[in-house]
Chain A
C-alpha cells in the first residue's frame, strides 16, 4: 500500500498544527461558530446529536493492520470503544470531544492517516473497488490513480470552497464496484480500440435529495489527463454551480440545468485551453512511483484448489454457507478474498468495537499480508487469503461475531447512523435494520431468497444509499413523527438504476411486515434463479404494491 515519504509526513503534521491552532482560537473566542464551521468540517468534525462526530479518511478503503490498531486505540481512548465504518469506506467516531480532536489527528498522523476533507464543501475522500488489485476482471489496479487523485485533491487551493461537497469514484475493472454512475465525477478505466488505457468520465450522478444517474461526458480520456480534466470540470462547477440554495448546489443540478451537451461544451472549452503544456499532466515516472506501492503481494505458488478446504466445505454446512456468501474469487490460484461481516443482527450495521478491530488486525497479519479494505457495503475485507487458511479464518472470525454468512443477502443491510446519532436525520435507521434482520433470521429462507441489497437512510441525504437498494428504505418526518418510505428496483453496478417509491410511507413497527410482503410477492412471481431486482424489472412495481397495500392503500388515500 502507499507509504508516506517526508513530503506526505510534513503535510499531515502541518495540518495537525494548523487545526490545533484553529481549535485554540475558536475556544478562545477569536473565531466565531460560522468561521470555525468550515474549518472543522474540512477536518472531518461535525457537531452531532450527542457530541462532535469525527470522520477519518480511509483513502480508497485501504488499511494496514497497524492503522486499524490505531483506530482501535482511538476508539478506546477517545470514544466509547467502537467506530462506525461508512458507505464511503471511511470510519466515524460518534463520541470524541472537540478539545481532544487535535490529539486524535496527531495519533492518526503517526500511522499515515488523517481526516482531511472528509466533510465540507470540498473534494472528499476518493473511493474505489474494494477488490482492487485482486479482482479477475480488472483492467488496471485503480489504486495508483486513486492515490494520485488523493494527493491532487488534498488542499487544492482553488476548490476548497465549492458550492457543495464533491465526490469522486474510480473503478479499474469491467464490473463497476465503485458506483461510478452515482458520483459527482465517476472515472471508469477502459481500453480503447488501439489498446490504450484511459478513463470513461461520468459526471453529475448522485443520490441525496435529487437522485440522478450520471452522464458520460467523455468516452475516452487518456489517463495522463485525469487531473487536467477533473480541474476543468471543477472550475466550471466552482464558477457556475448554484450557491443560493443548498439543495440545488450539487454539480448534478448544474449539469441538469445546462444539459449534458452544454455542460460538456463548457468543460471541453476550459480543458482545451488549460491542458496545453500543463505540468499537471501525469508523468509515467509518477505513475510508476505510486504504482510501486501497490505491487502484487508476495504470493505463494499454490494449486487452484486446496484439498483441506474442499474437505471442510463438505464437512460443515455452516462453513460452506459462509464460503458461498463471504468468500470471493481471486486472480491468483489458491487464494480468495474474504468479507468479514459487520452485519450481525443486533449490532448497528458497520459498527466495530475496539476489540474487534484489534482482532481483525491480527487476522490481517496472520492471513492477508497485514492489509485489509473497508467496503462501501460497510464490511471489512481480507483480500489475499490462502484457501487452505479459510476454515481456520472462519472459526476465528466466528468467535468475534464477524462471520455472519450474509454478504449479498437481505440482512447485509447498508445503513446510515440515523436519528440515534445524526442531527440531520429525520428518522432512526438502526432499529429498523435490526427489526428486519430479526424477522429474516432463518438462514435457509434467507439463502433461498437469494441476492438482495437492502439499504436504509435516515434522511434525504441518503448516506445509506437507499436509492440503489433493491429494496430502499428512507426515513421521513411527518408532523414530527417518524415514517418510512419504501422503494424497489434500484441497483448498483454497470446497470445502476434508481428505485421507484411504492406508495405512502409506513410506521416503524410495520417495516418488517412490509419487507416480508415484498418478499412474498417475489417468491410467488419469480422465475427460476431470478433475483428479486430482476423480477421487479420484469413485472413492474404494481404487483408488489398490491402485495403490500392490498386494500389498505385505499384507506391510506382516503
Chain B
C-alpha cells in the first residue's frame, strides 16, 4: 500500500521518497521518481540532481540553517523539514523563516515524528504538507486543523494578530 500524505487538507498517495539518514543510504544510486535529498547531498550533487530532469526536493534536519538554501528555493518542488522527535521545535522556526524571510512559496512538508496534535501549530508556521508518523491515521487527523477558530498572535498563516481585528470589529460594531 502506498504511503499517505496530507496535502492541501486532503490525504493523498505520497510520490516522494526521502533518502539519507535516517531514511536510507545516500551513497546508493538514487531511486526512480521524485526524491527528497538531505541538505549535504544537495550541496554536493546539485548538478547531478538537475541533470535527472525529475522533480527535486530537499529536506532539512533540525539544526540545518534555512539560509543555506535561500538562493536555491526556486529549484525545489518540495522543501521538507524533519522532526526526529515531535518535541524538537526547531523546525517551526525553520518553517517560519523559509516562508517569511526567504519567501518560499512551494510545498513545505513536515515529516518524521509528526502527529495530529502538532498539525494546528505546524500549519500556522507555514507547513502545507504533512507526513504523519506511521501509527497516526491521516484521515482522522484532518479534524485537528480546525481545533481552534481563534488565534491571538500573528504567524505565517495569518500575520495579523487578533488585536488588530478586534479593533476593526469594534469600529464596525460602533
Which residue numbers of A lie inside 8 Å of B, CB to CB? 5, 7-8, 10-11, 14-15, 17-18, 22, 31, 35, 38-39, 121, 148, 151-163, 227, 235, 238-239, 243, 273, 279-280, 282-283, 285-286, 289
Inter-chain contact A152/B148, CB cutoff 8 Å:
no
**Cβ < 8 Å to A, chain B residues 85-108:** 86-90, 92-94, 96, 101
| B161 within 8 Å of A (CB atoms) | yes
Partner-binding segment picked from B2-10, B23-31, B74-82, B116-124: B116-124
**What is the CA–CA distance of A488 and B94 in the complex, to the nearest angstrom?**
45
- Interface size counted on chain B using CB atoms at 8 A: 35
* Known A15-B148, A154-B153, A286-B164; 6 more pairs at CB < 8 Å: A18-B148, A151-B162, A161-B86, A238-B90, A239-B90, A285-B167
| B115 within 8 Å of A (CB atoms) | yes
B-side contacts of A286, CB under 8 Å: 163-164, 166-167
A-side contacts of B152, CB under 8 Å: 11, 151-152, 154-155
B114 to chain A, nearest CB (A): 11
**What is the CA–CA distance of A279 and B167 in the complex, to the nearest angstrom?**
13
- B117 (CB) vs chain A CBs: closest residue: A39
Instruction: Tell which of B87, B160, B162, B163 touches A161, judged by Cβ atoms closer than 8 Å.
Output: B87
**What is the CA–CA distance of A159 and B151 in the complex, to the nearest angstrom?**
14
Inter-chain contact A157/B88, CB cutoff 8 Å:
no
| B147 within 8 Å of A (CB atoms) | yes
Inter-chain contact A161/B89, CB cutoff 8 Å:
yes
B-side contacts of A7, CB under 8 Å: 150, 162, 166
**What is the CA–CA distance of A243 and B85 in the complex, to the nearest angstrom?**
11
A-B pairs with CB below 8 Å: how many? 109
Q: A160-B92, A289-B170 are in contact. Are A121 and B87 (CB under 8 A)?
A: yes
Inter-chain contact A18/B147, CB cutoff 8 Å:
yes
- A11 (CB) vs chain B CBs: closest residue: B150
Inter-chain contact A283/B167, CB cutoff 8 Å:
yes
**Cβ < 8 Å to A, chain B residues 158-174:** 159-164, 166-167, 170
B43 to chain A, nearest CB (A): 20
Inter-chain contact B149/A161, CB cutoff 8 Å:
no
Inter-chain contact A155/B92, CB cutoff 8 Å:
no
A-side contacts of B148, CB under 8 Å: 11, 14-15, 18, 155
Inter-chain contact A10/B93, CB cutoff 8 Å:
no
Q: A7-B162, A283-B164 are in contact. Are A158 and B87 (CB under 8 A)?
A: no
- A273 (CB) vs chain B CBs: closest residue: B101
**What is the CA–CA distance of A391 and B152 in the complex, to the nearest angstrom?**
45
Q: Could you list 26 A-B pairs, sorted by A, with CB under 8 Å?
A: A7-B162, A11-B152, A22-B117, A31-B115, A35-B117, A148-B163, A151-B163, A154-B152, A157-B155, A158-B125, A160-B121, A163-B89, A227-B153, A235-B93, A238-B90, A238-B93, A239-B90, A243-B90, A279-B154, A279-B159, A280-B153, A280-B161, A283-B167, A286-B164, A289-B166, A289-B167
Instruction: Tell which of A5, A148, A158, A283 touches B92, judged by Cβ atoms closer than 8 Å.
Output: A158
- B150 (CB) vs chain A CBs: closest residue: A11
Inter-chain contact A157/B117, CB cutoff 8 Å:
no
Inter-chain contact B151/A155, CB cutoff 8 Å:
yes
A-side contacts of B153, CB under 8 Å: 151-157, 227, 280
* Chain B CB within 10 A, most for which of A151, A161, A273: A161
B87 to chain A, nearest CB (A): 5
B-side contacts of A22, CB under 8 Å: 117
Inter-chain contact B89/A159, CB cutoff 8 Å:
yes
B-side contacts of A157, CB under 8 Å: 92, 120-122, 124-125, 153, 155
**What is the CA–CA distance of A11 and B162 in the complex, to the nearest angstrom?**
12
- A152 (CB) vs chain B CBs: closest residue: B153
**What is the CA–CA distance of A238 and B96 in the complex, to the nearest angstrom?**
12
A210 to chain B, nearest CB (A): 22
A-side contacts of B162, CB under 8 Å: 7, 151
- B115 (CB) vs chain A CBs: closest residue: A35
B-side contacts of A280, CB under 8 Å: 153-154, 161
**What is the CA–CA distance of A162 and B121 in the complex, to the nearest angstrom?**
13
**What is the CA–CA distance of A151 and B154 in the complex, to the nearest angstrom?**
11
A-side contacts of B159, CB under 8 Å: 279
- B149 (CB) vs chain A CBs: closest residue: A10
A-side contacts of B93, CB under 8 Å: 158, 235, 238-239
A-side contacts of B160, CB under 8 Å: 279
Top 6 A-B pairs, shortest CB-CB distance? A161-B89, A157-B124, A157-B121, A286-B163, A11-B150, A151-B152
